[in-house]
Amino acid sequence: MGELATRFAIKGKVVECVRYGNGHINETYLVTCDTGLNYILQKINKKIFTQPEQLMENIAATTAYIAQRSEDSRSSLHLVLTTEGKPFFLDEEGEYWRMYEFVPSSICLQKAESPKDFYYAGLAFGRFQGQLAQFPAQTLHEPIRDFHNTPVRFQQLRAAMEKNYENRMSLCKEELEFALAREQESGIIVDKLANGQLPVRVTHNDTKLNNILFDYDTRTPLCVIDLDTIMPGSSLYDYGDSIRFGASTAAEDEKDLDKVWCDMELFRTYTEGFLEGCNGSLTPLELEMLPMGAKMMTLECGIRFLADYLNGDTYFRTHYPEQNLDRARTQLKLVADMESKWQTMHSIVKEIAK
């Protein structure tokens, strides 16, 4: 790995190159040089991301855009170009490698230790939206096509119902009835994107807490990382998926649905951080539809789990036979709970957005 590191324009000689972090998709290494500088070296997983060159074009464009407009060097990841001036290195085996400058005095949190951490998560991903509000999102590639096209996800659910692996439909009739009753409204975001009512934004699409770097001392957010799924979309996607996961009171595969609901205080906390980070960049319609973003992303995730269950668990990793069904049930319970709190969610957003 040390030899690979020299293919990039690093400062100094490589002293050490070791595996780093907890990522499950790309191979990640920490490179240490005799100058005291550190770098992150990654091999891109071609099985997941089949167009690495397009992916790297997205990352190079967006990180450079943020860096050029920020006084804080730690507000964005910084790619280290190859010695030939490219954003990636293609080795003899056809593997794609990239390198980032290591962000000094930073830490990554695996879970929120307090509501304040969730507020900071909202602040970080809202700031990401604000920083890229004027970026021409239409110029980005789609590393995963139709990722948040909810009507397409319903088509996939119906195809899975046709397959009906091991007659699993008999175990989830109520869940299917609940989901399909909401199919007519599934296009509410994609349709408004298509007709121009909602602006096309740069979306991160993996808005987990551990995709944020925090300052080691102050525990305040520095920048968003793991940019492989950046693509054109709606701000409602990133906001909604964060609420889906972070404002839930239970684990994603909780069997006792009485423990599952959308916590309104956590909803408020994240929304406060997100809107502060966006810094006025959202349109009135985006603000009005934030609760819908939360509902649609939760519904979409639920039908994806349900479709995978009906397909025989071919996409999401499972540890027991009915885990995807349990996951689907928690998401659909969250949708029902959001619907019961619909006016409260809208009131909270209006109050914060004043």
Angle CA(46)–CA(52)–CA(58) in degrees, nearest 5?
A: 140
312 is a domain residue:
yes
Name beta bridge partners: 278: none
109 is a domain residue:
no
- pLDDT score at 334: 98
> Has residue 29 got a pLDDT over 80?
yes
Pick from 167, 238, 227: nearest CA to 26 = 227
Instruction: Specify whether the CB–CB gap between 241 and 146 falls below 8 A.
Output: no
Based on the domain organization, do 160 and 238 belong to the same domain?
yes
Q: Which residue has the tokens 């940019």?
A: 227
Cβ neighbours of 195 (radius 10 Å):
8
Mean pLDDT (the chain) is: 95
> Has residue 41 got a pLDDT over 90?
yes
- pLDDT score at 61: 97
Based on the domain organization, do 233 and 131 belong to the same domain?
yes
Percent of the chain residues topping a pLDDT of 70: 99
Based on the domain organization, do 158 and 179 belong to the same domain?
yes
The count of structural domains within the chain is 2
CATH of the domain at 51: 3.30.200.20
- pLDDT score at 354: 87
- pLDDT-derived band of residue 250, with 50, 70 and 90 as boundaries? very high
Instruction: Specify whether the CB–CB gap between 164 and 309 falls below 8 A.
Output: no
pLDDT in tens, 163-209: 999 999 999 999 999 999 999 999 999 999 999 999 999 999 999 88
Based on the domain organization, do 34 and 142 belong to the same domain?
no
- pLDDT score at 24: 67
Based on the domain organization, do 175 and 294 belong to the same domain?
yes
Indicate the residue among 76, 104, 132 that finishes a domain: 104
Based on the domain organization, do 83 and 130 belong to the same domain?
no
pLDDT in tens, 87-127: 999 999 999 999 999 998 999 887 788 889 999 999 999 99
CATH of the domain at 130: 3.90.1200.10
Cβ neighbours of 56 (radius 10 Å):
21
Q: Which residue has the tokens 């879970």?
A: 111
- pLDDT score at 291: 98
> Has residue 23 got a pLDDT over 80?
no
- pLDDT score at 115: 87
> Has residue 50 got a pLDDT over 80?
yes
- State which residues form the domain around 184: 115-353
pLDDT in tens, 264-322: 999 999 999 999 999 999 999 999 999 999 999 999 999 999 999 999 999 998 999 99
Handedness of CA 17, 54, 58, 199 (dihedral sign): negative
Based on the domain organization, do 199 and 293 belong to the same domain?
yes
* Residue 71, token pair as written in the block: 């006084």
315 is a domain residue:
yes
Residue 185, CA distances (Å) to 188, 199, 245 in order = 6, 19, 21
Handedness of CA 174, 178, 181, 187 (dihedral sign): negative
- pLDDT score at 109: 86
* Residue 335, token pair as written in the block: 């949708």
Based on the domain organization, do 198 and 294 belong to the same domain?
yes
110 is a domain residue:
no
Based on the domain organization, do 92 and 122 belong to the same domain?
no
Based on the domain organization, do 91 and 125 belong to the same domain?
no
φ and ψ at 208, to 5 degrees? -90, 155
Name beta bridge partners: 203: 231
Indicate the Cα dihedral angle 321, 240, 115, 211, nearest 10°. Answer: 70
Based on the domain organization, do 96 and 164 belong to the same domain?
no
Based on the domain organization, do 100 and 149 belong to the same domain?
no
119 is a domain residue:
yes
Amino acid at 57: E
